Amino acid sequence: MKTEIVGGTEKNIWSSMLFITAFLILGWRIMDRIWLKPKKKERMLKQQGFKEDPYTLTRILFGDVKENSVEYAEALQKTINIHDEAAPCVMPFVHKTIEKYGIFKETYVLF
């Protein structure tokens, strides 16, 4: 007994279902990697007493660009004397992060 399908063949339907399944699996993996795992790690760190900035969609898309630019603009407005520390004026975001969280053995600053 042969099944008739209106508007296409049975082969086209199976290939479409395979494509949709692959697309859903890929979508799930991407969502797991960029949203679910970081939220789980955030929750675990919060339970252990670590304080951090919340993981939001804007943080995924733009990172710390806004905070970095605001702190850099504030640092440019301040005058610096010869006896002052240079780090808060040269790299204000890195300096604030180290003050907030401390310096760790595995801390790297990439330029």
Average pLDDT, the chain: 81
pLDDT at 20: 95
| Residue 17: both structure tokens together | 């279902």
Model pLDDT for residues 45-88, shown as the tens digit of each residue: 889 887 777 888 777 788 778 888 888 888 888 888 888 888 78
Residues 60 and 56: their CA atoms lie apart, in Å, by 7
| Residue 84: both structure tokens together | 């002052």
pLDDT(26) > 90: yes
The pTM is what?
Answer: 0.53
Q: How far is CA 22 from the centre of its chain?
A: 25
Share of the chain above pLDDT 70, in %: 85
Residue 43 sits at the vertex; the CA angle it makes with 38 and 49, to the nearest 5 degrees, is 125
Which residue bears the tokens 């970081």? 38
